[in-house]
């Protein structure tokens, strides 16, 4: 299989230690974020590690595999391809397309017939199918759209503020390396990706009936990226727009969008004690460009929302659990935890005046612990400066250096 690709070593390095281990490796993420190409990179890694291996590759989006839609058909196909005298590796792309696929994987794993790696574009396969049938026998590797560093590499751009603005505007869908970065061409492509995700991964899989409301809801989330929301208040808003939609329906549709990794839900948590609040959360898009394809990009009005979205995605790419922090009546944009450590972040376009400075730094100063605290801005002159232990940092530096 000879297909050219740009390597994404951050994912290969995470998965590589588990190759050859009797545990199912599951790559999850929104459609079109590059999971298929990571599978191809893994095939090349397997060939290097095990030159004589027998590799069975199934891409369930290709026509040649249309007949494999049940777990029985999948098992029969794979079993016929295995070679008893060799080490076998099975790689399946978009495994959720096979009904009850987990039954096949469980059988293959129990029989130790092959090492299994698969991808999926719906979180339900983890919380439902896989979690129930294969509890403790799989490991998940989330895959995200391109980071800013990857964006620069893919498009051969200099690390500059101009490139950063392009990233905030066009996002990190890997296929843009083929379309080029002309905005009209990019957004035409991204609108088609939006339609595919919504219709195939949300409407069809989740049995959504009111497609018009789903589209209106995604537009509402785009307008309110990074704002505290609740299903009740969203329902109330749409009622004011003469679109009566019960709170439970709003909840169901939001859940469907998060299941497809199209948006990410971030809950609020108390800084002291990490109590999770059930009401009030924020939503961020998996890809900045897809968000901007819904609503025409307006730098002046959108930059703060997109900065916050970019910071959130960078935290997730670096394996942080992310919450909206709450301390008293103050809000911390992000409280992120990883391996027992924690960081706090405020995101602000620019610190125009003393009032803005007092608000962004003051919220962080009210936290009485010694974990790192950052104010992420687009200001040039103060990048890297510290104020009472709080570091102000340019977004570009945060996206390229801070969390490595």
pTM of this structure: 0.94
Q: What is the pLDDT of residues 90-101, one digit of tens each?
A: 999 999 999 999
**DSSP letters for 304-324:** HHHHHHHHHHHHHHTT-EEEE
| CA distance from start to end of the chain | 33
Sheet of 138-142, strands arranged across:
54-59, 88-93, 115-120, 24-28, 138-142
Whether the pLDDT of residue 382 is over 60: the answer is no
Q: What is the pLDDT of residues 282-309, one digit of tens each?
A: 999 999 999 999 988 888 899 999 999 9
Say if residue 371's pLDDT is above 70: yes
Q: Report, in this order, helix, strand and coil percent for the chain, each rounded to 5.
A: 45, 20, 30
Residue with tokens 């935290």: 315
- Report residue 268 as tokens: 């609020």
Mean pLDDT of 148-160: 97
Return all residues near 68 (Cβ < 8 A) that are at least 6 apart. 58, 60, 74, 77, 98
Q: Could you give all domains of the chain from N- to C-terminal order, each with its CATH number?
A: 9-142 (3.40.50.300), 148-402 (no CATH)
Report helix, strand or coil for 46: helix
When pLDDT is averaged across residues 175-185 and rounded to a whole number, the result is: 97
What is the mean pLDDT of the segment spanning 232-259? 96
Query: How far is the C-alpha of 86 from the C-alpha of 271, rounded, in Å?
Result: 53
Please tell me the predicted confidence (pLDDT) of residue 107: 94
CA distances 49 to 23, 42, 44, 83, Å, are 18, 10, 9, 18
Question: 365 by DSSP, 3-state: which?
Answer: helix
* Mean pLDDT calculated for residue range 350-367: 89
Report the C-alpha gap between 186 and 190 in whole angstroms: 6
- In this predicted structure, the answer to whether residue 19 has a pLDDT above a threshold of 80 is yes
Model confidence at 28: pLDDT above 90: yes
- Output the average pLDDT for the chain: 93
- For position 124, what pLDDT does the model report? 74
Give the Cα separation of 16 and 39 in Å (integer): 12
């Amino acid at each position: 299989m000879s297909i050219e690709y740009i390597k994404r070593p951050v994912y290969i390095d995470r998965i590589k230690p588990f190759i050859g281990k009797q545990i199912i490796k599951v790559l999850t993420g929104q459609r079109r974020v590059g999971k298929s190409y990571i599978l191809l990179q893994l095939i090349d890694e397997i060939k290097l590690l095990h030159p004589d291996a027998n590799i069975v590759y199934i891409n369930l989006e290709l026509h040649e595999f249309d007949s494999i839609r049940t777990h029985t058909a999948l098992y029969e196909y794979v079993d016929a391809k295995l070679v008893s005298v060799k080490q076998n590796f099975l790689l399946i792309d978009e495994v959720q397309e096979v009904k009850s696929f987990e039954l096949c994987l469980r059988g293959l794993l129990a029989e130790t017939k092959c090492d299994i790696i698969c991808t999926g574009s719906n979180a339900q396969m983890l919380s439902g199918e896989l979690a129930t049938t294969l509890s403790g026998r799989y490991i998940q590797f989330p895959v995200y759209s391109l980071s800013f560093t990857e964006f620069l590499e893919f498009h051969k751009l200099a690390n500059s503020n101009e490139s950063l603005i392009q990233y905030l505007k066009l996002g990190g869908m890997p296929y843009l390396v083929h379309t080029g970065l002309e905005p009209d061409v990019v957004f035409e492509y991204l609108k088609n990706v939006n339609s595919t995700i919504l219709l195939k991964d949300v409407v069809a899989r989740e049995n959504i009936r009111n497609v018009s409301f789903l589209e209106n809801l995604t537009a509402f989330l785009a307008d309110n990226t990074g704002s505290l929301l609740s299903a009740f208040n969203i329902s109330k808003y749409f009622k004011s727009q003469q679109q009566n939609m019960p709170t439970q329906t709003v909840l169901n549709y939001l859940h469907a969008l998060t299941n497809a990794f199209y948006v990410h839900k971030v809950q609020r948590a108390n800084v002291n004690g990490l109590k999770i609040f059930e009401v009030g959360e924020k939503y961020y898009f998996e890809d900045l460009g897809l968000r901007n394809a819904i609503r025409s990009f307006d730098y002046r009005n959108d930059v703060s929302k997109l900065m916050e979205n970019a910071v959130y995605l960078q935290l997730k790419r670096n394996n942080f659990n992310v919450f909206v922090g709450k301390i008293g009546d103050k809000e911390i944009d992000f409280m992120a935890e990883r391996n027992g450590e924690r960081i706090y972040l405020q995101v602000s376009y620019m610190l125009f005046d003393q009032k803005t400075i007092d608000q962004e730094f003051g919220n962080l100063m009210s936290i009485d612990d010694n974990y790192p605290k950052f104010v992420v801005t687009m200001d040039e002159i103060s990048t890297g400066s510290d104020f009472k232990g709080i570091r102000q940092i340019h977004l570009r530096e945060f996206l390229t250096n801070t969390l490595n």
